[in-house]
Structure 1
């Protein structure tokens, strides 16, 4: 089963927000500001948009309905200098995301690995799932800086490194 955008009235959304101490969510539309931006590279794409257009990167959770859960996918959106939120990452489903900002999230880079966050769910018995959909026991995971697809993507944007931090 493929994830879908949940209804804004879905009662599992407030449960998800409460479980992870989040205050609110909003619907954020996709804007194709750069044809090079790819679906699986939101953190890099938004960092690139900020470097080129100002504003700031906002971390949070893109909320999806998947089977019987609401799943929060660690996601970044662009806050333009005028304060509006834009999703610059091509969505895998639809043209918008339900986005819950989370100021506690930060990508770190120790020079060898970058620390990212596991997906989260509305099910208290299964709070974290890894990028492949498997149960995880911890909220974070590490991505090697030497990851070939990350390096290639960053090079395609004209970067000389692959740090998302």
Structure 2
């Protein structure tokens, strides 16, 4: 699925000083819950945390792609956060993470889940794109970077 079609303006946020992995995941759950009315923040957070228990979703270069499966049928939900400064996220390269692209996908859409994760990883492998994402000063700026990609 096209990442630009997944991400909504109200799901892109530039955060100041989020200090832990759990706090970032809580922010993601809070934002995603506005798009998933059948789930609570606690349900969404549990899905994200369960995936993190299998291994960190920090893919390196200051990027993490937290993701989880959700039970209600419907559309996938994406959340993009940038945190200044980065946080310890147990990434594979042991560097702090400051760019988080979260994905929540209904359990019955595993193929979409894997394809979308691959698309997200490809986008964040582009150093110029990462530079533009990190330099976004407002939520709207951040959304516009993804829209222009």
Same fold, judged at TM 0.5 (above): no
Which structure is higher in strand share? Answer: 1
TM-score computed with the length of structure 2 as normaliser: 0.33
Bigger fraction of residues in helix: 2
Tell me which of the two structures has the higher relative contact order, counting C-alpha pairs closer than 8 angstroms and 6 or more residues apart.
2
Find the structure with the greater CA-based Rg.
1
